[in-house]
Every structure is written in C-alpha cells, then in structure tokens.
Amino acid sequence: MKLEEERIKEAIETADISLRHKDMILMRYGIGMDRPVAAADIGKKYKIKGRKLVEEITKVERLAFNILKNQDLYDIMIQNS
C-alpha cells in the first residue's frame, strides 16, 4: 500500500462515523484493496438496493469528501480510484 493510500485509510478509519460507513468508503474507493468495489456489490453486502443504495453511496461519497478535504487527501483519493 502506498503512503498516500495509508494516509487516506487512516483518516477514514479514525473519522467519527459508523463502522458501516467506514467500510463502505474503503470499498467504494478500493482503499486497501486491489480495486474499487462496484456500488451493486456494496449493496449486496449490506442488503440494500435501488433508491436506498443510491442514497447510501451518495452519503458515503459526501462523508469521504468531508473527511479528506481538510487534510489535502481528497485529490489523492480521486486520482487513485
């Protein structure tokens, strides 16, 4: 894992959000994995689909942005995904 990815992972893992959302963010952007996980596959894991899945993915993307924007890590995460 690259240093930037380790910094992003640490920022997400130490954020004051639920474990579920932390996991969803890491999966969505492929942090600590070979590649990002498709939204549909995240939905299968958490047994959500349709509109609810879209809402959850949108929510975790906003959470990720808010967590990383003040740490100059957001651009790094987008480049890696």
Q: Which long-range contacts (CB under 8 A, 24 or more apart) does 69-76 make?
A: 71/7, 71/11, 73/4, 73/7, 73/8, 73/11, 76/4, 76/7, 76/8
Determine the angle formed by the axes of helices 19-29 and 39-46, rounding to 10 degrees: 150
CATH class of the region 3-80: mainly alpha
For position 76, what pLDDT does the model report? 65
pTM: 0.81
Mean pLDDT rounded to a whole number for the chain:
87
For position 46, what pLDDT does the model report? 96
Domain extents in the chain: 3-80
pLDDT in tens, 18-48: 999 999 999 999 998 999 999 999 999 999 9
Flag whether pLDDT at 59 surpasses 90: yes
